């Protein structure tokens, strides 16, 4: 049997899209989706499902696309995943469902992510209302702290089971990293809003602008609720802490992206929050956040370089994102490590002193360890530097939660079901694992919700 | 009701007092903590120190310095603040120290009001310095009557001594043995007071008005070097021992958006004309 080539979703021209914040990928047309869906072998034992952290019936929803029954497909998808339009866009499918697809052996895997996105977008475009099926109303209250991917998923699962769910969020908008971290061109905010609206229809009560820990103490939550789920993420940015970190023009990726995504600084002065835009921007790091920051800076008109201390092979970012960044004109300077920032008399950044690196033997992370090359220092002139080197747990809540056991890195310790050292308190997402992906956080939210149900029904 | 302006009062040119209804913040706020306002959809997030609480309301005192604060001061009673998040930050370290000197400069006087009250409540003897440019800029004078001694310092000598607050502080320290000092006001004032405290080996709390976005430790924009380690003003502070603060880099970071701030204010004034409400 001749295997057809994978159908790729339509993407906007890199030169054109690099100038605005509109979405990069336009997704599939109905026809393209059907052709791609028909490539699916409908395996009896679907390995793709095992690769999905939330266990979506992947062959099931793809089969319905192939049959041109998009609404049926959406129904299946939504049964497993509260946020399909988001996951279809930002999941690292290549290492999850698509990575496990048997077609990998014979060619390219099914474009599961793009198909998921297609179905979710189709449903939205055609105003398909989600069925709101709530099991028996239960007179038990659950508090969810953090309206990010893990919290929203847990909320959806628990509300569907009939619990009364209050979600507490410190920001003025729900969504967590989906709102402040992931740029509009990769995940339009309107999509996050739509998926959050569904939760509200399920009866989830979202309380905004409430910093739990300060506005409400953990003890009060413990008294008021039958169970608590903590999904506050790991939001505190790490800095390399090299000389000159205080200089004007040095940003954490979190700050740079929050200014742009949440506060819409790219529309300054129409919007009130500014962001510094230099002629040159250097982004430090090799993850998805680094790509997002670099591509955002590019859209603000800067000449952007990513510097990373290992080689491209070791970069933790998704291949597709690296590819998109390159297409748009982001330069990569690999095997390079910053050692200090250089400022002018007014305290503005003017350059980064770097050292060249070579790769040694694999280290604990399994990746080859970068080693500085002696006497290889050089300076990269730049007005803006953005550090995207990772995050730490946020202290705001955890420091006030008495009796909550943390591990040596300051993350919450849980058992495999997300239960913490306090029996009625569960946790999931980045605040347990350290920074990971949207879908893993959702998987954790789902797992914990299941356990919370069992816990409360006992 | 939530976040409606119950009462507004002009205290001096460009200095306005707001009582905002918000039961959570009024119930939970402790001295030294702050809130973040976003007054409308496209607005900046503006950190403001909580100056007092009463019933379901909390008070902030705002000095108009840029577009966002001009706009905030333009709001009237019964208007709403779109988003108010708080209380944020670590509360002041209130305990029984003995003899305390508290210095408030300009709108910093609003910030020290709850701290002075709390310090007196736990049995400290508190001397207070209210400092400002001139007599007209001294605010909330009536609220410091319970101080052991109340001193004034103005730049032009129109009230109290014609001294900078750090100079008056130096003078008082020579006469009285203080156990701890608070100094809250403009960054340069806090820096100068911290230098005096350092010379006299005296602990001094300052409240850093760093530029921040989220106020929850998430952006790192408010970072400040404290004794060689990076701290986040919003969660580790806003109060730090002024002797440990790297003032030069703090001042540099405060000036980060000078050009953008100027542009935003100019644009705004082009639209609204003369800011007669200030």
**Model confidence over A3-18: pLDDT tens digits?**
678 999 999 999 999 9
**Is A142 a residue whose pLDDT tops 70?**
yes
Q: Is A258 on the interface with B (CB under 8 A)?
A: yes
Per-residue pLDDT, B1: 57
The half-sphere exposure of B249 on its side-chain side, counting CA atoms within 13 A, is: 24
pLDDT at A131 over 80: no
Comparing A132 with B12, the larger pLDDT belongs to B12
Nearest to B235 among A180, A216, A395 (CB): A395
Distance CA B9, CA A449 (A): 49
CB-CB: which of A246, A251, A274 is closest to B249?
A246
User: What does the pLDDT average to over A85-91?
Assistant: 91
Q: Is the CB of residue A215 less than 8 Å away from at least one CB of chain B?
A: yes
A235 and chain B: CB distance < 8 Å anywhere? yes
Query: Could you please report the per-residue DSSP string of B189-239?
Result: HHHHHHHHHHHTT--EEEE-----SSSSSSS-TTEEEETTEEEEHHHH-SE
- Percent of chain A residues topping a pLDDT of 70: 99
DSSP 8-state secondary structure symbol assigned to residue A216: B
Q: Which of A181, A210, A211, A267 to mutate to test the interface with B (most CBs of B within 10 A)?
A: A211
φ and ψ at residue A95, rounded to 5 degrees: -105, 0
pLDDT in tens, A362-415: 888 788 899 999 999 999 999 999 999 999 998 889 888 999 999 999 999 999
Query: Which has the closest alpha carbon to A169: A238, A203, A215, A226?
Result: A215
Strand A280-284 to strand A303-307: parallel, antiparallel, or no bridges (unpaired)? parallel
Give this complex's ipTM.
0.93
- B213 → closest Cβ in A216, A258, A271: A258
Q: What's the pLDDT at A129?
A: 82
Mean pLDDT of the region A85-105? 91
Question: How much is the average pLDDT of A235-243?
Answer: 93
In this complex, the residue of B220, B236, B256 whose CB is nearest that of residue A239 is B220
The reply to whether A171 touches chain B by the CB within 8 Å rule is: yes
- Estimate to the nearest angstrom the gap between the alpha carbon of A82 and the chain centroid: 15
Q: How confident is the model at residue A242 (pLDDT cuts 50, 70, 90)?
A: very high
Tell me the shortest Cα–Cα distance from B227 to chain A, in angstroms: 13
Yes or no: say if B268 and B232 are a contact pair by the CB < 8 Å rule: no
Take residue B223 and report the two structure tokens written for it.
């970072």
Of A102-111, A349-358, A400-409, A425-434, give the range with the top mean pLDDT.
Answer: A349-358
CA B178 to CA B191: how far, in whole Å? 19
User: Which residues from B are below 8 Å from A250, CB to CB?
Assistant: none
Mean pLDDT score of chain A: 93
B235 vs A contacts (CB less than 8 Å): 394-396
| pLDDT value, residue A179 | 93
At residue A3, the pLDDT reads 61
Chain B interface mutation, best of A214, A244, A392, highest count of B Cβ atoms under 10 Å:
A214
The reply to whether residue A272 touches residue B253, judged by beta carbons under 8 angstroms, is no
pLDDT above 60 (res A2): no
Contact state of A272 with B246 under an 8 Å Cβ cutoff: no
DSSP A333: E
Q: Do B255 and A237 touch (CB under 8 A)?
A: no
Query: Residue B45 has what DSSP assignment?
Result: P
| Residue A235 main-chain phi, psi, to 5 deg | -95, -10
Q: Give DSSP secondary structure letters for A130-144.
A: PP----S----EEEE
Provide φ and ψ at A109, rounded to 5°. Answer: -65, 165
Kindly tell me if the per-residue pLDDT of A94 is higher than 80. yes
A224 part of contact set with chain B, CB < 8 Å: no
Question: Taking CB atoms and an 8 Å limit, are A263 and B45 in contact across chains?
Answer: yes
CB B38 within 8 Å of CB B106: no
- How many Cβ contacts (< 8 angstroms) between chains A and B? 127
Cβ within 8 Å, pair A171-B42: no
Closest alpha carbon to A437 in A28, A220, A113? A113
Are the C-beta atoms of residues A282 and A386 closer than 8 Å to each other?
A: yes
How do the residues of chain B divide into helix, strand and coil, expressed in percent and rounded to 5? 30, 30, 35
Average pLDDT over residues A283-312: 96
Does A345 lie at the interface with B, CB-CB under 8 angstroms? no
Who among B87, B219, B250 is closest to A214 (CB)? B87
With CA atoms as reference, the chain B residue closest to A268 would be: B264
Tell me whether residues A209 and B85 touch, CB distance under 8 A.
yes
Q: Say if residues A234 and A148 touch (Cβ distance below 8 Å).
A: no
The answer to whether A251 faces chain B, any CB pair under 8 Å, is yes
Q: Is A134 on the interface with B (CB under 8 A)?
A: no
Which pLDDT belongs to residue B241?
98
**pTM metric for this prediction:** 0.93
pLDDT in the model for residue A4 = 76
Contacts of A188 (CB under 8 A, 6+ apart): A23
Mean pLDDT by 10 residues, chain B (278 residues): 91 95 96 96 95 96 95 96 96 97 96 97 97 94 95 95 95 95 97 97 97 93 93 96 96 92 93 92
B217, A235: Cβ pair inside 8 Å?
yes
Phi (first) and psi of residue A448, to 5 degrees: -65, -40
Mean pLDDT in residue range A192-209: 92
pLDDT of residue A1: 45
Other Cβ atoms closer than 10 A to B276: 7
Question: Which residues in chain B have their CB less than 8 angstroms from residue A246's CB?
Answer: 223-225, 246, 249-250, 252-253
Q: Which helix (H) or strand (E) holds B10?
A: strand B5-12
Tell if the CB–CB gap between A246 and B246 is shorter than 8 Å: yes
Check CB contact under 8 Å for A214 and B86.
Answer: yes
């Amino acid at each position: 049997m001749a295997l057809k080539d994978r159908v790729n979703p339509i993407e906007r021209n890199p030169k054109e899209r690099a100038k605005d914040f509109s979405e990069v990928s336009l997704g599939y047309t109905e026809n393209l989706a059907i052709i791609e869906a028909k490539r699916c072998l409908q395996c009896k034992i679907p390995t793709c499902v095992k690769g999905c952290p939330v266990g979506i019936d992947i062959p099931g929803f793809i089969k319905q696309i192939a049959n041109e029954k998009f609404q049926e497909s959406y129904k299946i998808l939504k049964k497993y995943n509260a946020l399909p339009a988001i996951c279809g866009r930002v999941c690292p499918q290549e290492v999850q469902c698509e990575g496990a697809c048997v077609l990998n052996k014979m060619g390219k895997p099914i474009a599961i992510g793009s198909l998921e996105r297609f179905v979710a977008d189709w449903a939205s475009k055609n105003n398909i209302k989600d069925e709101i099926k709530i099991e028996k109303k239960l007179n038990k209250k659950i508090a969810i702290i953090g309206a990010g991917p893990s919290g929203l998923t847990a909320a959806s699962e628990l509300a569907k089971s009939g619990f009364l769910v209050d979600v507490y969020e410190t920001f003025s908008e729900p969504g967590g990293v989906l709102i402040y971290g992931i740029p509009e061109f990769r995940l339009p905010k309107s999509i996050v809003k739509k998926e959050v609206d569904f939760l509200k229809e399920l009866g989830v009560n979202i309380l905004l602008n409430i910093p739990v820990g300060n506005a409400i103490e953990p003890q009060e939550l413990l008294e008021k609720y039958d169970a608590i789920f903590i999904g506050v993420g790991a939001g505190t940015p790490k800095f390399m802490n090299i000389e000159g970190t205080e200089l004007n023009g040095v940003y954490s990726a979190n700050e740079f992206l929050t200014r742009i995504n949440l506060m819409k600084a790219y529309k300054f002065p129409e919007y009130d929050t500014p962001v510094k835009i230099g002629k040159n921007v250097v982004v430090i790091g090799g993850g998805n956040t680094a790509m997002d920051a670099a591509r955002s800076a590019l859209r603000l008109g800067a000449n952007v370089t990513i510097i990373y201390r290992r080689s491209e092979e070791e970069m933790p970012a998704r291949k597709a994102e690296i590819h998109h960044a390159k297409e748009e004109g982001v330069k990569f300077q690999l095997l390079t490590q910053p050692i200090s920032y250089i400022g002018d008399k007014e305290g503005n950044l003017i350059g980064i002193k770097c050292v060249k690196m070579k790769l040694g033997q694999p280290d604990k992370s399994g990746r080859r360890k970068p080693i500085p090359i002696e006497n290889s220092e050089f300076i990269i002139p730049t007005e803006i530097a953005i550090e995207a080197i990772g995050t730490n747990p946020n202290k705001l809540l955890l420091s006030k939660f008495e009796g909550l056991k943390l591990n040596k890195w300051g993350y919450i310790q849980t058992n495999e079901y997300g239960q913490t050292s306090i029996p009625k308190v569960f946790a999931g997402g980045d605040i347990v694992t350290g920074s990971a992906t949207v879908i893993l956080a959702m998987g954790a939210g789902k797992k914990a919700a299941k356990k919370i149900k069992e816990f409360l029904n006992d | 009701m939530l976040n409606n302006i119950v009462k507004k009062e002009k205290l001096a040119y460009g200095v306005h007092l707001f009582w905002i209804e918000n039961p959570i913040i009024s119930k939970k706020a402790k001295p030294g903590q702050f809130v973040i306002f976003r007054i409308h959809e496209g607005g900046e997030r503006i950190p403001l120190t909580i100056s007092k609480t009463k019933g379901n309301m909390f008070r902030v005192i705002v000095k108009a310095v840029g577009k966002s604060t001009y706009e905030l001061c333009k709001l009237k009673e019964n208007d709403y603040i779109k988003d108010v998040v708080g209380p944020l930050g670590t509360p002041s370290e209130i305990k029984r120290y003995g003899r305390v000197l508290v210095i408030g400069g300009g709108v910093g006087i609003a910030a020290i009001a709850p701290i002075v009250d709390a310090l007196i409540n736990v049995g400290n003897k508190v001397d207070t310095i209210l400092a400002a440019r001139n007599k007209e800029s001294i605010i909330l004078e009536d609220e410091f009557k319970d101080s052991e001694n109340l001193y004034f310092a103005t730049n032009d000598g129109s009230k109290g001594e014609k001294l900078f607050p750090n100079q008056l502080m130096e003078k008082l320290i020579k006469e009285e043995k203080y156990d701890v000092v608070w100094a809250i006001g403009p960054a340069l004032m806090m820096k100068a007071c911290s230098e005096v405290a350092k010379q006299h080996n005296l602990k001094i709390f300052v409240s850093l008005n760093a530029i921040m976005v989220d106020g929850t430790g998430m952006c790192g924009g408010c970072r400040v070097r404290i004794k060689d380690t990076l701290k986040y003003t919003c969660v580790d502070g806003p109060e730090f021992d002024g002797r440990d603060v790297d003032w030069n880099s703090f001042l540099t970071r405060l000036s980060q958006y000078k050009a953008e701030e100027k542009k935003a204010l100019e644009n705004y004034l082009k639209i609204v004309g003369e800011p007669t409400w200030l």
